């Protein structure tokens, strides 16, 4: 009951806030339902007048009937247009709110939680249904008005017609049963539905065309997609069958009772104990009473659907609030650069059996250039995500300028961070915009964009494009140009260099699509720029699994299976002859003649 009240409060308040006039106009529809309910009564009066050969009675009844039909249509038109307008505006508001909530959750830990992903998948699948919920609520109001009116007319025609209404109780009771079935079916289909969409993306995304065709994966993908799609649909197909069986049973009960009652009324009319007008009204009301049962069932079912749909939105809101409560820090990042200190930092991914990082200790002075190296899966990207505040350490603390990272406002902290990442986004915008969004206040500053392109060694790529920095990226758009993987990566690097003096600049394998020589040249450029800017105090973190590109860093941190196993300068680590020296020699050997 509490969830229903929350859902109703949410829908009503949002509707009135975003569409007050349309909300008022929606009330015309329930009034129209009430007027329409009086039409069988007018018809029964007309037939009774005809049976009594009373012309005045017939004319009056016909006039009232015509007026009722006209008024009903006008009210329905007003109500429907208002409802559509309201539904669109409320739906757009909820869609924007869902995007805002998911985008402002301070960390990304929840994105590794299967339960969260399943719930988010259901919410995305029915994101439009959150807006439709207000439509559902108004339909329920109209249904309730209709139910009350039909029952009143049935009682006025003959009290025995209420038995027909009672025969509709099983139909009503079937509503919550079907609603529970539907809820379970939706939950059961969430995970296979998510898998089916992932497989579909693999088959349709242009980025995957090469591997799908070269490795002849299409048949395998289709087969797995077929299995996943069947698993996705299976709960809903089973639900449809169960609902069909339940509907058949309750309809047999209703029409059986209706046939008996109508038989008694016909007998009364033939024997003179009843009149033709009441019999006509009763006949007209049978289908209305069937509709009443269906409406009540629909009301219960739709209330459950509305509560469940709005409940998922409220669940997302609550989840975001809970995550935000776990990160109560509101302190501003230090204005002046300070030391970045990690004490015993560890991290375990949600649901993982082993830790991704454990016992990491680092102490970096302002202006330091740190290279983080290690094989794939060593924990390099996890370390970066912890430093940038995208993830919360499972153990240990991170201090920034003497202040715990947990005490900082994470949004404000990230504004003071610059960088480029291996899994960069291919923003299909104008080139200058795709770079400029790396620092929103400067996105229209052409000189700042040009400086970032030069720093990221992307100026030659951009100058070769048809319209230079004004070129539209993405071949899916008119006049758009697609780039190679390496060119996209250079654009991403330039974007990461837009902020001129961040407290920390992270370069997390941003050159993975480039050859080793180009990567080495770029890293040398980054390191030189970082050392030249020591007066700003920017700490530069270079992450790579290529050991040959990090010799110019001040210090090197070597990770292996989540542990910091070696730490020092390139020369010191080579002299120590440890893990770094061994892997460095293995990689260097590959480039020797």
Residue 200 belongs to some domain of the structure: no
Co-location of 485 and 520 in the same domain: no
Distances (CA, A) of 310 to 23, 135, 361, 396: 18, 12, 45, 39
pTM: predicted TM-score of the whole model, two decimal places? 0.66
Residue 31 belongs to some domain of the structure: yes
Q: Rounded distance, CA 163 to CA 468, Å?
A: 79
Question: Which pLDDT value is given to residue 593?
Answer: 56
Question: Which pLDDT value is given to residue 532?
Answer: 59
Checking if the pLDDT of 576 tops 90, the result is yes
Residue 577 belongs to some domain of the structure: yes
- Residue 155 maps to which CATH number? 1.20.1560.10
Instruction: Report the first-to-last Cα separation within the chain, whole angstroms.
Output: 76
Please state, for a pLDDT cut of 90, what percent of the chain lies above it.
18
Q: Bigger pLDDT: 291 or 387?
A: 387
Task: Choose the final residue of a domain: 296, 325, 354.
Answer: 325
Task: Choose the final residue of a domain: 463, 481, 501.
Answer: 501
pLDDT digits (tens, 9 = 90+) for 138-182: 666 666 666 676 777 777 777 787 777 777 778 777 877 887 888
Three-state SS at 138: helix
- Residue 536 maps to which CATH number? 3.40.50.300
For residue 233, is it left (φ>0), alpha (ψ between -120 and 50) or beta? alpha
Co-location of 264 and 317 in the same domain: yes
**pLDDT bucket at 587, cuts 50 / 70 / 90:** confident
Co-location of 495 and 510 in the same domain: no
Q: Are 469 and 430 in contact (CB under 8 A)?
A: yes
Lowest-confidence region among 305-314, 455-464, 519-528, 554-563? 519-528
Q: Rounded distance, CA 519 to CA 243, Å?
A: 62
Average pLDDT on 244-270 reads 82
Task: Choose the final residue of a domain: 455, 476, 501.
Answer: 501
| Burial group, residue 401, by CB count within 10 angstroms (0-12, 13-18, 19+) | middle
Evaluate the CA torsion angle 149, 153, 156, 158 in order and state its sign.
negative
Co-location of 148 and 173 in the same domain: yes
Distances (CA, A) of 423 to 185, 222, 488, 492, 529: 35, 27, 11, 10, 24
Question: Which pLDDT value is given to residue 257?
Answer: 83
Co-location of 409 and 478 in the same domain: no
pLDDT digits (tens, 9 = 90+) for 123-134: 776 656 666 666
DSSP state of 365: -
Checking if the pLDDT of 77 tops 80, the result is yes
| Burial group, residue 591, by CB count within 10 angstroms (0-12, 13-18, 19+) | exposed
Domain count, the chain: 3
Checking if the pLDDT of 462 tops 80, the result is yes
Average pLDDT on 34-53 reads 74
In the numeric block, which tokens belong to residue 359?
Answer: 């016992």
Residue 211 belongs to some domain of the structure: no
Q: Rounded distance, CA 34 to CA 68, Å?
A: 10
Residue 113 belongs to some domain of the structure: yes
Q: Which domain holds residue 86?
A: 2-192+235-325
In the numeric block, which tokens belong to residue 127?
Answer: 């994101």
């Amino acid at each position: 009951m509490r969830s229903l009240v929350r859902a109703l409060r949410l829908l009503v308040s949002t509707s009135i806030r975003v569409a007050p006039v349309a909300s008022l106009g929606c009330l015309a529809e329930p009034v129209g339902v009430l007027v329409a309910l009086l039409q069988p009564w007018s018809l029964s009066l007309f037939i009774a007048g005809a049976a009594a050969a009373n012309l005045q009675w017939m004319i009056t009844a016909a006039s009232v009937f015509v007026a009722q039909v006209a008024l009903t249509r006008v009210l329905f038109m007003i109500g429907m247009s208002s409802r559509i307008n309201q539904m669109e505006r409320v739906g757009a508001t909820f869609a924007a709110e869902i995007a805002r909530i998911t985008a402002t959750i301070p960390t990304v830990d929840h994105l590794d939680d299967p339960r969260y992903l399943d719930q988010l998948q259901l919410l995305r699948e029915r994101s439009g249904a959150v807006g439709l919920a207000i439509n559902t609520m108004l339909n329920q109001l109209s249904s309730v008005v209709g139910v009350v009116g039909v029952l009143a007319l049935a009682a006025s025609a003959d009290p025995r017609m209420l038995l027909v209404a009672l025969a509709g109780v099983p139909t009503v009771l079937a509503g919550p049963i079907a609603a529970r079935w539907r809820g379970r079916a939706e939950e059961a289909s969430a995970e296979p539905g998510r898998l089916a969409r992932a497989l579909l993306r693999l088959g349709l995304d242009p980025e995957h065309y090469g591997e799908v065709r070269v490795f002849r994966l299409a048949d395998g993908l289709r087969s797995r997609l077929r299995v996943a799609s069947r698993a996705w649909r299976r709960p809903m197909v089973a639900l449809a069958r169960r609902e069909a069986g339940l509907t058949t049973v309750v309809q047999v009960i209703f029409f059986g009772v209706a046939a008996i009652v109508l038989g008694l009324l016909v007998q009364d009319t033939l024997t003179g104990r009843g009149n033709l007008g009441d019999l006509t009204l009763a006949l007209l009301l049978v289908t209305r009473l069937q509709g009443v049962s269906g409406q009540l069932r629909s009301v219960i079912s739709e209330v459950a659907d509305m509560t469940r749909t709005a409940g998922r939105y409220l669940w997302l809101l609550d989840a975001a609030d809970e995550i935000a409560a776990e990160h109560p820090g509101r302190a501003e990042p230090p204005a002046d650069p300070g030391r970045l200190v990690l004490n015993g930092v560890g991290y375990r991914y949600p649901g993982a059996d082993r830790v991704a990082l454990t016992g990491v200790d680092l102490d970096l002075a302002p202006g330091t250039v740190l290279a983080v190296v290690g094989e794939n899966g060593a924990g390099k990207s996890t370390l970066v995500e912890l430093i940038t505040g995208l993830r919360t350490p499972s153990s240990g603390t991170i201090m920034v300028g003497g202040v715990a990272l947990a005490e900082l406002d994470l949004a404000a902290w990230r504004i003071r961070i610059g960088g480029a990442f291996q899994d960069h986004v291919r923003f299909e915008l104008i080139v200058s915009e795709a770079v400029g969004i790396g620092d929103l206040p400067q996105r229209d500053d052409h000189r700042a964009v040009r400086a970032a392109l030069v720093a990221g060694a992307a100026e030659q790529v951009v100058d070769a494009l048809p319209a230079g920095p004004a070129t539209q990226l993405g071949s899916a758009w008119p006049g758009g140009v697609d780039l190679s993987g390496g060119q996209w990566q250079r654009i991403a690097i330039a974007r990461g260099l837009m902020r001129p003096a961040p407290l920390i600049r992270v370069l997390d394998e941003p050159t993975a699509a480039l050859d080793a020589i180009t990567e080495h040249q770029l890293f040398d450029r980054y390191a030189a720029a970082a050392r030249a800017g020591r007066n700003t105090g920017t700490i530069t973190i270079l992450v790579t699994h290529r050991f040959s590109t990090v010799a110019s860093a001040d210090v090197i941190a070597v990770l292996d299976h989540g542990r910091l196993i070696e730490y020092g300068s390139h020369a010191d680590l080579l002299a120590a002859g440890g893990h770094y020296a061994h892997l460095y020699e293995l990689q260097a050997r590959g480039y020797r003649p």
